[in-house]
Chains A and B, each alone.
Chain A
């Protein structure tokens, strides 16, 4: 057992200086990032403490007294509110559906565009489908209400057939489909760019070789295109899992109405209303924020592990 006497040349601690020297240029390249993250991300992190305090602006974050129940009072307040669990459920449903719907839509758009032969048409379509991304949700929300409202174009068509006008925006199920639909409308083209860029990097030789083997178009998509974009797709999917509990505040805030609170009120809109419309104290928002962070983090770690177990490159 005289391990002490054996010098392990491969031990990381052993040749530390040498390894630092070897990677000194890479370390040089990472130093700005380290400074950036320390200053802009880590320095404000003590603000997490607000979630455990009764925040008094004059006293500052450190000076404010701790919340009741040895600091956990804010969490108790939240978890005790039955409405919180309802908005949490809504958030998860909307968040999960949105991830899958928008992922599939973006992939489909990218594949379709990639299959176009006419260069002019390809470029035009590719440009057009990215347009809606440039619009803000304030505008898109207004558009949706104008189109699907009682005096919107859809109802004009319905009314012209002699039928009664329908209140689409009052129906929770219709409303959810509008949320998903408008998200696809606005973002699918834009999200497909990243896949198209990855597809552009695939060597044409691979396709030529497949042509020689007599592969069909679908076979080529299945065996060449999809595997090539798989790492990017998985990375994006893992990252988007972290956003499940956000579920798109801007969109919902600009589209929802009291009649669909039941299905469409999410954590962020609820907190926004309580903080700014009802002037609730800042620490409640902070506590919900922390809850969201912890849950998102755990979710991402789980998804990342699953990805790694199935042989993919994760992020952590």
Chain B
């Protein structure tokens, strides 16, 4: 916390108002800190971008570039014409839309139900859920379960087992619990039942949190590969990240192999990385809008 306390010694405007548009010295300090932070974050991406648009000959001789010496789009052409990457994209899009909606629905209703006071068995259910955060049977029985549910080598194995994420469910529950309870009372007096109250009163108020958690799920689905790695054999069911993972490790492995193995170049790997993260980066600012909307809703109702 030292860094934080130090801020108190910095010159502050005595009457800084949140709605005051004047820029003071403090703003410049914050601006500088964040700018520096942003540059540290961007540089490796910039370097990766340079690698992806440099020909192999330039990269191998000078891995550290400050500016592109020579530009080639070959790597991107290869990525965009790669059947396995597109097949990965198709699978991942399914996970992204179907999976996120599915997870959001179950996680939110569970979080809401657990945020309401006093209902029969609530504490028991809550504890039952919490225990699963720490205790699990491990991989072997899980493998048997997947196999016996008939999910092995099925696309659904990447969606169905992830219905509720306990961590996000607890965040949701906490958020619902922090909303004013008198709204519930007044809705009850109007004769609404719990499900109606949830959909009409609380869900609209929870939009910022819903957006955040939806974002977490979407990113989780976009990045998921572990279940697929264990349970998917069919190459056309492999999600993008698994395809990419295999590509990256193949590019660097020097294992004993035969002529058939494709050794991907660093440039191609980086191009594929961009291919997989750019959609997420573009998607994220749109979700940010929801935060602002949520703020407005909160301001009116709160």
Binding site for B on A (CB under 8 A): 16, 19-20, 22-23, 25-30, 32-34, 36-37, 39-48, 50, 55, 61, 104, 108-109, 111-113, 115-118, 121, 123-136, 138-139, 142-143, 146-147, 151-153, 156, 185, 189, 193-194, 196-198, 200-201, 203-205, 207-208, 211, 214, 216-218, 220, 231-232, 235, 239, 242, 282, 285-286, 289, 293, 296-297, 300, 313, 315-316
Contact = CB atoms under 8 A, between A and B. Distances in A.
A185 B292 CA distance: 26
B223 A134 contact: yes
B145 A43 contact: yes
Contacts of A118: 23
Interface of B: 1, 3-4, 7-8, 12-19, 21, 23, 26-27, 30-31, 33-34, 37-38, 40-42, 44-45, 47-48, 63-64, 106, 109-110, 112-114, 116, 118-122, 125-138, 140-142, 144-145, 149, 161, 163-164, 167, 170-171, 174-175, 177-178, 193-195, 198, 208-209, 211-212, 215, 219, 222-223, 241, 245, 248-249, 252, 273, 277, 280-281, 284-285, 288, 291-292, 294-295, 298-299, 302
Contacts of A315: 130, 170
A293 B132 CA distance: 10
Given A37-B164, A194-B212, A129 B137 contact: no
3 tightest Cβ-Cβ pairs between the two chains A and B: A47-B137, A47-B141, A23-B119
A94 B212 CA distance: 28
Given A138-B245, A200-B292, 5 more contacts: A134-B219, A200-B208, A203-B298, A204-B18, A218-B8
7 contacts: A44-B136, A47-B142, A50-B140, A127-B285, A185-B41, A207-B18, A211-B19
Contacts of A29: 109-110, 112-113, 194-195, 198
Contacts, number: 263
A228 B15 CA distance: 22
A129 B30 CA distance: 15
A47 B110 contact: no
A109 B4 CA distance: 11
A93 B18 CA distance: 41
B126 to A, nearest CB: 8
B294 A200 contact: yes
Contacts of A41: 132, 136
A46 B42 CA distance: 47
Contacts of A235: 170-171, 174
B194 A23 contact: yes
B173 to A, nearest CB: 9
A33 B212 contact: no
A197 B208 contact: yes
Contact of A128 (B41, B137, B140): B41
Contacts of A32: 106, 109-110, 163
A40 B137 CA distance: 10
A115 B13 CA distance: 13
B137 A25 contact: no
A116 B23 CA distance: 10
B273 A44 contact: no
Contacts of B23: 117-118
A218 B24 CA distance: 14
A194 B144 CA distance: 36
Contacts of B167: 239
B37 A129 contact: yes
A132 B97 CA distance: 23
